[in-house]
Amino acid sequence: MKIGIIGATGNTGSSLVKEALGRNHQVTALVRNADKAKSLFADTVTIIAKDAFAFNKQDFAGLDVLIDAISFPTQKHLAYDQLDLAAQLIHMFRETDSPRLVFILGAGSLRTDGGLEIDQLRKTPGAAAWIDTPEAQHQELNFLRTVSNVNWLGVSPSANYTVGPKTAYVRGSDDLLFDDNHKSEVSTGTFAAAILDELEQPSIHQARFTVRNK
Amino acid sequence: MKIGIIGATGNTGSSLVKEALGRNHQVTALVRNADKAKSLFADTVTIIAKDAFAFNKQDFAGLDVLIDAISFPTQKHLAYDQLDLAAQLIHMFRETDSPRLVFILGAGSLRTDGGLEIDQLRKTPGAAAWIDTPEAQHQELNFLRTVSNVNWLGVSPSANYTVGPKTAYVRGSDDLLFDDNHKSEVSTGTFAAAILDELEQPSIHQARFTVRNK
């Protein structure tokens, strides 16, 4: 497949690039910083460097899958761009079924303890420093759920999202997943592998799934 | 004030133009069809003609108020543009308080009978022919309610929105308004007057109001 990844140099993006290349897919890295992409990926990917909101349909031409893997940080007061970029991409592909649009969300929108994980996150001491990003990712999923004429997919990690290699995994839909020790964790490697598995063998449509390390 | 009106040639847009000019405001008509705008308004307004999604910040430069008065029709399967255009305008003015962005919504998102008017609308025989537009306007308000860093205002008419001159009016917030005969009606003239009153003397912020003929 031809897979475009917006935010390819980030933690999630770069593990997606690695996993996709390992499976012999063609990857286009859609990034802000061409030099950073070049130093990470050399000539293994096609690089298109622009501000995320400047990408246009031409940049995405020929892609089977377009993954929005940017996480806009609370710290720069840009978390709302999370939702705005999703809205722009969705608008670009209304009334189409290709490319498949994949949105990397947070764990905040997953159900747990009779509410949502975001309800717990809001109560965490010091949450003000980072809460805007999960809030925006939650709004992003709520927005996606209104969209019935685009081939979209949402993916949420577990509560602890760590940088690390892939393991076996357990997949779920809208509930935060825990292992037998009540640990909710997924590594970037596992997360990327689960996404590539879904892309190679689509099993859901206009829905979100989540994953944890087994 | 300098007031820009996207969709100025429509029923709502043209009554807003008339009311604004009558109060000596400067109006920019942001329209798709320059000829139609010229035939309606002659030289009383500035005309900028483009597709709604092609307007950019430069087109809106100097405006105190920007009103999105387009109603995208269900019939052309473009109702989702209702939400998408709102998202694009909001993105354009994140972290600003000017221009004030006014979104003309429908009555569907108003509370009535223990639910929302949209719940009643969905049950109306033949609703499939037009329901997508009120659904999209409802989504549009839900989206706006997530936005805390733009100076936005939503306005909903009453259940019956008729073309006609202005009368005295009653204003409400999120409940569908009825008169003593259980009639819920507002004319385009009244609707425009209520909006201009709010623009000249702002009383709410990041919220929606509704209005009925008295």
Please name the residues in contact with A13: beta carbons below 8 A apart, sequence gap of 6 or more. Answer: A5, A6, A7, A29, A67, A69, A70
Q: How far, in Å, CA of B17 to CA of B4, rounded? A: 9
Give the per-residue pLDDT at B78: 85
Say whether pLDDT at A75 is over 80. Answer: no
- Please list the alpha-helical segments (H only) found in chain B: 11-22, 34-41, 81-92, 117-123, 132-144, 188-200
Condensed to tens digits (0 to 9), the pLDDT of residues B136-169 reads: 999 999 999 999 999 999 999 999 999 999 999 9
Sign of the alpha-carbon dihedral angle for B134, B167, B144, A52 = positive
CB-based contact B88 A87, cutoff 8 Å: yes
pLDDT at A210 (0 to 100): 98
Domains of chain B: which residue ranges?
2-213
> Which H or E run contains B154?
strand B152-156
The CA R_g of chain B, rounded to the nearest whole Å, is 16
What are the φ/ψ torsions at residue A79 (nearest 5 degrees)?
-60, -30
pLDDT of amino acid A87: 97
Residue B77, pLDDT > 90, answer no
Q: Which fold has domain A2-213?
A: Rossmann fold (3.40.50)
Inspect the interface and report whether the beta carbons of B80 and A143 lie closer than 8 Å. no
Nearest residue of A to residue B53, measured between CA atoms: A91
**CA dist A43 → A4, A39, A47, A68 (Å):** 15, 9, 9, 21
Q: Which residues on neighbouring strands pair with residue B66, listed in sequence order?
A: B4, B101
Check CB contact of B83 with chain A, cutoff 8 Å.
yes
Is B84–A77 a contact, with Cβ atoms under 8 angstroms apart? no
User: Closest to A94 (Cβ–Cβ): which among B80, B87, B90?
Assistant: B80
pLDDT at A77: 72
Instruction: Note whether A142 contacts B142, CB cutoff 8 Å.
Output: yes
pLDDT of residue B173: 98
Say yes or no: B57 contacts chain A, CB-CB below 8 A. no
Average pLDDT, chain B: 96
Is B95 at the interface with chain A, CB within 8 A? yes
Cross-chain Cβ contact B91/A139 below 8 Å: no
Whether the link from the prior residue into A165 is cis, omega within 30° of 0, is no
